[in-house]
Amino acid sequence: MIQKLSSQARVAESNSVATSLIHLYNEKAWENETHLKSVFTGLTAESTDLTQAINRSKSESVLSELDSECDKCVDSLYYLGLGASHHPDVAIRTSAEQLNNVFGKYGLKITRESYEVENSLILALLKDLEKPELKEHIAAISGYAEAIALLDKAQQKFKTAYVDWEQEKNKEEKRRSASEIKKSIVEIINDKIVPYLNAMSQIAPAAYADFANDVARIIETRNDLIKSRSKKPEPVS
């Protein structure tokens, strides 16, 4: 008897089971089994959509990482200027004052702005720091020019990723979320594949028993992993 896939299966886990079942079905090449063909055609389409949805989530995660990289570069400029403002050398303190006046127009608060606003403000900051009259002041503070270069590089990477993310987000309104597709996949497996194979392996074991047993092993293995995960003790805080 094939058990149903656990409702606790995560998005990636559900897709992994679906992919394994699709691969198993394709190996059987049951083109003449019209019911399974219809069910697995639907499962394949849903699995493809879920894979794309997972990839979209990853692109958003990458954008978040790039945003954090930009934030660290902004922090570096702030602390370099702050440190230099206490330097015993008067010339360095003076240069720090000039640069801190420029940075002060934006401040660390820009790292807490939305992606779009932060992107614009960092670009404006970089443009201000390109002014000819600041060149000698930048050169006077060790590491400041390098920090600007790192911020510029991080911002370019973020800007490219942001454009891609915005395009995907605009399309997202017409797409289902990963959790919605996962729900559909679990329903196909539990409400269409499992009951059908449980019945057919009893009615026509010679034709269906081996396939049903393989399906049972795939689902059982995943359910066991889900159970073992839920039994792990909570970390002590």
Instruction: State phi, psi for 95 to the nearest 5 degrees.
Output: -65, -40
Q: Does some domain include residue 6?
A: no
Give the mean pLDDT of 24-34.
Answer: 86
Q: How far apart are alpha carbons 66 and 161 in whole angstroms?
A: 8
Give the mean pLDDT of 92-120.
Answer: 93
Q: Does some domain include residue 2?
A: no
DSSP per-residue codes, 119-147: HHHHHHHHHHHT-GGGHHHHHHSTTHHHH
Q: What is the per-residue pLDDT for 235? A: 47
Q: Does some domain include residue 100?
A: yes
Q: How confident is the model at residue 51 (pLDDT cuts 50, 70, 90)?
A: confident
Look at residue 78 and tell me whether its pLDDT is greater than 80: yes
Q: How do residues 149-201 score in pLDDT, each as one tens digit?
A: 999 999 999 988 888 777 766 665 566 778 889 999 999 999 999 999 999 99
Who wins on pLDDT, 17 or 175? 17
Q: How confident is the model at residue 13 (pLDDT cuts 50, 70, 90)?
A: very high
Number of domains the chain contains: 2
Q: What is the per-residue pLDDT for 166? A: 74
DSSP structural state of residue 33: -
Residues 88 and 164 in one domain: yes
**Is the separation of the CB atoms in 71 and 134 below 8 Å?**
no
Name the residue range of residue 224's domain: 11-56+175-228
Look at residue 2 and tell me whether its pLDDT is greater than 90: yes
> Residue 99's closest CA among 110, 84, 112?
84
